[in-house]
Structure 1
Amino acid sequence: MTGIGFSEVMPFLSLYVDSLGNFTHAQLSLYSGLAFSATYLVSAIASPLWGQLADRTGRKAMLLRASLGMAFVFASMGLVTNVWQLIIARLIQGVFSGYISNANALIATQVPKEKSGQALGTLTTGVVSGTLLGPLLGGTLASIFTYRVTFFITGAILLSVFILTLFFVHEKFTPVKKTEMLDTKGVIADLKAPKLVFGMFITTMIIQASNNSISPILSLYVRQIMHGSLQATFFAGIVASIPGIATLVAAPKLGGLGDRIGTERVLMAGFCLAVVVYIPMAFVTNVWQLIGLRFIMGIADAAMLPAVQAILAKNTPPEVTGRIFSWNQAFQSLGNVVGPIIGSLVSTQFNYSGVFISTSVLVLINLLLVSKETKELRKSH
């Protein structure tokens, strides 16, 4: 439900911006970009602060804060009268970020370490399902009702998340006393493998940047390979959503496999698959080839995303889990900001195919970085 809430306004956010004034093409692009990225920029700053509070008050308290705050913020977006009010509301949304990262932290601390891969894989399935259904639901609601009513409905969904969390989520939590709270240096010193953990932060950022680097050009690329066909918009929707379907099916299975054979191995396999799959995407000659490769990319995502969460869970003491997962979310938010910028810059300097090549290089760098860190960890053991 949280995934739905986040993603269902995305298909019409730029159209909603357009309805708030008479803008030139350049102004519309600028304001749409600001409205999109504002949440992630604030989230990157706010997440570590909430993580510190989570270690003192518990993860459930943070879930309640995030869901209730987002419910009111999304509803307020339906009341704005100009674009700057919308951008401010999106900035405030970033302040109330952290539902997913705290859900990950809660699962990581409540589930036995040897089962954390499967549990976090299942949680990823929930998030991906919502992210997949959101744009479809949002587009349908906006066409039946209006943009403004859809924001109110989104607020109601997130209020339901608050109520469900309040009554059905239970946490066995021993608060860390304020006097015993570790500072940043203390948190790092408390980690068994700090280099590996920080490597996972960079990995999270690169995975997000890689997935989002092609977002600005994906529909344009589909239109290009379909030679301007009228069906390009429909197929662009399929191309955008197909990795999520693959992730949905594969994430719990690969999470469980990681618990059995080693999460690091599953992560490395995901990287290798991603590097190999991005390159041929640059040379496809029809849309079905792109759909097939994007489906395989979804399997790579299913190997990478839960594996990172599981490695963090298995290498983090419970008393600092909240902060570690919030730092990870900050890097994820940075990836959401950096990715589209990389994609836009590369596509203007080269062409659409160049974005896929550059993304493959980005994942390869990540593969080499993680390979080095996991080798050092195995040697230390």
Structure 2
Amino acid sequence: MKRYKLKSPGIVYSGSDSLDNIREILKYGVEKVAVFSDKSIIKAGLVDLVLAKLDDAGIKYEVIDDLPAEPSCDQAQAVVDTFKETEADLIVAVGGGSVMDIAKLASVLSTDDYNVRDLLENPGLAKKQVRTLMIPTTAGTGSEATPNSIVLVPEKELKVGIVSEEMIADYVILDAVTIKNLPRTIAASTGVDALAHAIECYTSKKANPFSDMYALESLALILGNIEKACDDPEAVEAKEAMMVASFYAGVAIAAAGTTAVHALSYPLGGKYHIPHGVSNAMMLVPVMRFNEPMCRSRFAAVYDRVKPGDNKVTEEEKSEWLVNRLGEIVENLEIPTKLSSYGVPKEDLEVLVSSGMEVKRLLDNNMREIKAEDARALYLQLMQ
């Protein structure tokens, strides 16, 4: 029997007016809050929703909003250094994956004993110093549930994951009001990111009963709601479903881990700054079609979950349906699938292959072995 475990955030609040639970969290000996966000989230008025709760409670706070999208390890360290000066005893992260990832790093880096680059070499150094509350403003990254922080290592032109259970959030609030007015392009790319998380975890070599439960339910929610949630600003129920699905997929990551889609997408973000959700959307169908012979029964199980009782379809047909459905979603949401959209020249193919094959942590999870020639063929599909 395989050994496996599940570690997830301490308390998760969801449903209507979930932001009201901030008052409950502040009762636990909080004297000062550091609010992590970025200028676009602040401009959208979402941080004001949180600050109003802090004002009502009479809690001191400082806002740290100079957070870059898709940060490098050194940019993340600069934010952490700013945070140390606040002497806050609770971090509230209001934003997408990059905001939450930096906030998680800050939660283990209020000490001077080690820094971000030290954690890149040895994540085991991390020790939780400050409690965290994650309030995602996208339904996609799942960062609120994971022990991961993704940073760019500039000299490698590669995104690298720092993974430590010490970074798992103490509190999470999932409130659909935070994504109600999310631009369609962001809703689409982050939604497909969650889709990638769920299907990768469900087909990971490390998949187990814990991750399967969350990944399969996440897939059912996403496959049934993602397009409506992106296309209809008033589709509150679909948006709520996507927030829960994104969280479930994040929990699945903590229990099993992603695979080759994320491994091969990291160089696309690291070298060409293609948004993370878009790069995953590019790799999703090519990798899943490559994996299909080794994942057929699992793909068929997803079909059975979303189309129960259909016994006239073969396992192969069920599996093919899922791969086609993934492609349909990416197409319907109008996410670019060609590297030429981002000016990636064919001459860089070997650089991509070399960089992608370095992400062994994730490639080793993939159900079907990916060799350099396989990675080359997959990248070529995006260049034609």
TM-score by structure 1 length? 0.30
TM-score by structure 2 length? 0.29
Give the strand-richer structure, 1 or 2: 2
Task: For CA contacts below 8 A with separation 6 or more, give which structure has more relative contact order.
Answer: 1
Give the helix-richer structure, 1 or 2: 1
